[in-house]
Structure 1
Amino acid sequence: MLRTNRWAACGLAWAIGAAACADVLHLHDGRVFEGVVVRGTDGAVTIDTMIGRIRTTLRFSAADVERVEGRPLPAAFFDHPRDDAARAAADLDAPSGRARDATYYLEAPIRGVFGIDVLPRAIEETLDFAVRRGIRHVVFTIDSPGGEVWAADAIALLLERFADRVTCHAIVERAISAAIWVAFSCDHIYVAPNAAMGAAVVFRGDASTGHAAVDAKMTSAYAGKLGAIAERRGRSPAIPRAMVDQTAELYTWVDGAGARRFASYPPAGAAYETLDTVETVLTLTGDQMLRLGVADARIATSAELGDSIGLPGWRQPVAFGTATAAKYAALARNAQQGLRDHAAAVERGVKEARDHSPERSSYTYHTNGAFTDASLVRWRENVERCHLMWRRVSSDISAYGQAIDDAEKAGLPLDLETLRRQHREWKNEASRRISELLAQRHRTGR
């Protein structure tokens, strides 16, 4: 009841916002979204809004909404970004401008956790946009603690797929764990101030778990894959292997011809440097990356990259990569939170509605089988209460279905078939019970 009353208050503000042709959605975590609320229920609220330059629809659990208020929508709120994109596209398609002095690039931010903030679908859309618009350079600005390997591996495969159509640059601020997949998959690596890269142990062997051999095999497989990726880009495969394999050792030295060498064992008869031992996991600073040839230069931002590498007219015509990353991150977070929260809400609601089924109460009857007056009132009250419970459950079930759709759009590696089957079962039960209760509203006896 408390949740319903709280959302009713939000609903009042929503109605005011609708009259003002705009809504401002305030969340309990401090985030604010401006746009038009297109759907609001006890379970969820959906707003049509802008993320960067991309128009998108976001859905939030009603429990996360602090308030919805009305405010005049800025003129051409939804139109300006489209106009900007259209102008950028026209600019890109103008042969004279392109040939004369422009070198276009897109920035693709790799910021946050892989599998939540960093998603393959966003990278694929950005690379595809670049190819369709004839943009030859994509700059990945990396500041990530890592995350899910499936996402990093999928992005590495995408960069391989687009390798002959775009040149990929990585500017590393922090590339830890899974983030090294993207850095090593790029054609060029640059370091920002205070950069760090490494510590990508995927599986930790522990004899007490009984899975040490499996861990070792998987570690070896990932180390080999990353080593091959680095080698195709002209880098030593030994470096990513040492970042992935906790048991690896890494030594480096300069040979007689002046070439830098790397090996998992110290060289005989040469002065060498120990980079990694079995007690450590390789992590390199920006200075080390430059000295060891992992990085090409020191560059702080994507905007200054063009001048540093001698490309004239270096500019980004539209922030497509940034907006796309934000769009998919919002989808993924909505999906993950929605699946968790709405599944729990449905399970609680179903149990509550079943427990309050009107058939579970006791009633008194006349000799002809009709309810007594008191029992007739109680029956109708119980039917109405149970009907409202199933209505609330139905709203949560709809929100759960939307979360499944968001998960599919975001490309999350979930068992969607099982989730949809559970959604159908809940939906069918709720629909059946609502229909039965509506039919029983006017029941007068046995």
Structure 2
Amino acid sequence: MTRHITLATVVILCTAICCADTFKHRETGEVFNGFATQKSIGNRTRVYNADLKTFKPLVLGQYDVTPNARGRRNNVIVMPPKQAEVLLSKAVSEALANAIVDASNKGPRFIVIEIDNPGGRGEYMKHISTTITKTFNCPTVAYISGGTYGGAYSAATAVALACDKIYIAPQAVMGAVAPPVGMATGHEDPQSAVETYSPKNLSAYNSYVAALAEQNNRPGAIAMAMLDRSIEVIEVADKNGKRSFINRADRRPDQSIVRSLTRTTGQGAEAVLTLTPSDAVAGGIAEKVVGSLPELLTDMGAADAKLIRGGQVDKTIRKFIAARRNLGEILASIDYLQKRADELESQLNEREKQELQNTRQREYRRDSSGRRSSRIYSYDGDIRRRRGRGETEIVTRSEPMVDTLRLRDELALVLNDLIIGYNKAIALARRWPGALPQNMTLRTLEQRLISAQTLQNDVVFRRGGIVSPGAGVGPGGRLNRGTGYNR
């Protein structure tokens, strides 16, 4: 309910000053053409006066504003959320959101959000969508162009719903789950891609996307079905013949089913919505099917406007991809080290258990000539002394188990590398939110780091602070590898 109220407030504000090109002061009668920006100081908004060719701060509440094309630049800025990483990375989504705000401040006729995207994470979807709804100073138009991914899916549909108008290309679709062929780019298997781009937890944003749709008189049920695969959308007709699209669960007895827009999975547990261009128009989601951007401009009455490509986020995307690749390599190394640490811990525990039951001894022999020899054996008992032939004295004393020391040393060194890996992964994940795999969280990494540190402290204590030959503590508290460690 709160989200609906918040978005409704934004809609009212947009209605008051959206596309504001002719300003008239209510008291003085001053009139000028121009456009508002999203920059403000206190209660004053920075407004461009086209007649004076200058910006000045104004209290917009003192003006009556008439939306028209006067005073605006005769261009249209096209924003490109066509890369898969746009809704996977916090840094990339913020870069795009900032680019949309910057574009609106330049006073174009309108902004086109060109979408060909398989979806992504809810928090980044919401950030971009909210930025669009708050872009009161410039009209926004979504163009579902199709291409690599074939249209707008899952979280990407919410970005389209945030716009004032939606156009769709003949070859594009809007849906809940992108086809595996398109979205499996960079993923080993299609199921991994589905969990990345169409995660089931997006249903938590149902109310938000419904409000986005309803603010522009679009069916909320269709919007929710784009994120929530448990919703089955049907077209119904009431007794007067009026048709509408609703969730099957909300159907009234007086409504007859015309058709179902969703297809149910084989198990009947989930419904997957896919809208063709004609379905999108008939369902009230899209305004029209257009084959190109120039055709869109013509329909919007801006055929003579110059198309400008803006909001390039390629540099940020390249950095994100590099960070995700590095993080993947670190996680792979962590996985190996963690398994090795588990194996060594298990072996060490078993060896120490054996030590409690069997003491290893070294026997020294020294004859009357002073010659010395030794041999190792194990037995249960105390130190023995005896004399043999040739006045040979046999002395038996306890010594550490060599295998146990080696295991402790190697485990300590593996844990040291493991802790370094966890610290690197945590630092990278904090710097690039969204770079972690869908099934991994920053909290999980932090908890595993604590477990590794605890085990390392325990191993050092069990070693009694003794480090085997060739191993030692280096600068910064790092353990140097001994001869027994082979990574």
TM bin, normalised by shorter chain, reads 0.5 to 0.7
Match runs of 1:25-424 below 5 Å: 103-109=76-82, 111=84, 118-132=88-102, 134=105, 137=111, 139-144=113-118, 146=119, 149=122, 152-153=125-126, 155-161=128-134, 167=140, 169-173=142-146, 174-199=151-176, 223-241=206-224, 244=228, 246-251=231-236, 262=244, 264=246, 274=259, 276=261, 282-299=273-290, 309=300, 310=302, 312-317=305-310, 319-320=312-313, 322-328=314-320, 331=323, 335=327, 338-339=330-331, 341-355=332-346, 360=352, 363-365=360-362, 387-388=409-410, 390-412=412-434, 416-417=442-443, 419-424=445-450
Shift of 1:197: 1.6
Cα distance, 1:305–1:392 mapped onto 2, change above 3 Å? farther
Q: CA RMSD in A?
A: 5.3
Identify the range of structure 1 (373-382 vs 322-331) with the bigger mean alpha-carbon deviation: 373-382
Higher RCO by CA contacts (8 Å cutoff, separation 6 or greater): 1
* Structure 1 residue 263: Cα displacement: 5.1
Higher helix share: 1
2:360, 2:399 within 8 Å by CA — same for their partners in 1?
no
Greater shift, 272-281 or 386-395, is seen at 272-281
Unaligned residue ranges in structure 1 (runs of 5+): 1-94, 201-217
Q: Shift of the alpha carbon at 1:302? A: 6.6
Structure 1 residues 127, 156: CA separation in 2 closer, same or farther (over 3 Å shift)? closer
Compared CA separation, residues 347 and 282, structure 1 to 2 (3 A) = closer
Cα 1:442–1:266 change in 2 (3 A) is closer
Do the aligned partners of 2:418 and 2:452 also contact (CA within 8 Å) in 1?
A: no
The 2-side partners of 1:186 and 1:363 are apart by 78
The normalised TM-score by structure 1 is 0.52
Structure 2 unaligned blocks of 5 or more: 1-52, 55-70, 178-200, 265-270, 366-372, 378-397, 471-487
From the superposition, tell whether residues 230 and 329 of structure 1 become closer, same or farther in structure 2 (CA, over 3 Å): farther
3-state DSSP class of the match of 2:116? Answer: strand
Q: Which amino acid aligns with 1:402?
A: K
SS at match of 1:440: coil
Could you tell me how far 1:421 is from its partner in structure 2? Answer: 3.9
Q: Deviations over 1:80-99 (max 9, x none)?
A: xxxxxxxxxxxxxxx99x98
Larger radius of gyration: 2
Give the AA of the match of 1:420: E
Alignment partner of 2:428: what SS? Answer: helix
Q: Percent identity?
A: 20
How many residues align structurally?
Answer: 318
Offset of residue 240 of structure 1:
2.4
Per the alignment, in what secondary structure is the counterpart of residue 80 of structure 2? strand
Counterpart CA distance in 2 for 1:100 and 1:157 is 25
For residue 362 of structure 2, give the secondary structure of its aligned residue in structure 1: coil
Provide the C-alpha distance between the structure 2 equivalents of 1:148 and 1:164, rounded to a whole number of angstroms. Answer: 27
- What's 1:43 paired with? none
Question: What is the Cα deviation at residue 262 of structure 1?
Answer: 2.6
Shift of 1:423: 0.8
Give the distance between the partners of 1:373 and 1:304, measured in 2 at CA. Answer: 93
Does the aligned pair in 1 maintain the 2:145–2:168 contact within 8 Å? yes
Paired AA for residue 249 in structure 1? I
Shift of 1:230: 0.7
Q: Is the 8 A contact 1:357 1:382 kept in 2?
A: yes
TM-score, normalization by structure 2: 0.49
Contact kept, 8 Å, 2:99 with 2:311, in 1: the verdict is no
Mark the CA change 1:298 to 1:267 in structure 2 (over 3 Å): closer, same or farther.
farther
Q: 1:442 to 1:246 in 2, by over 3 A?
A: closer
Residue 389 of structure 1: how far off its partner (Å): 5.1
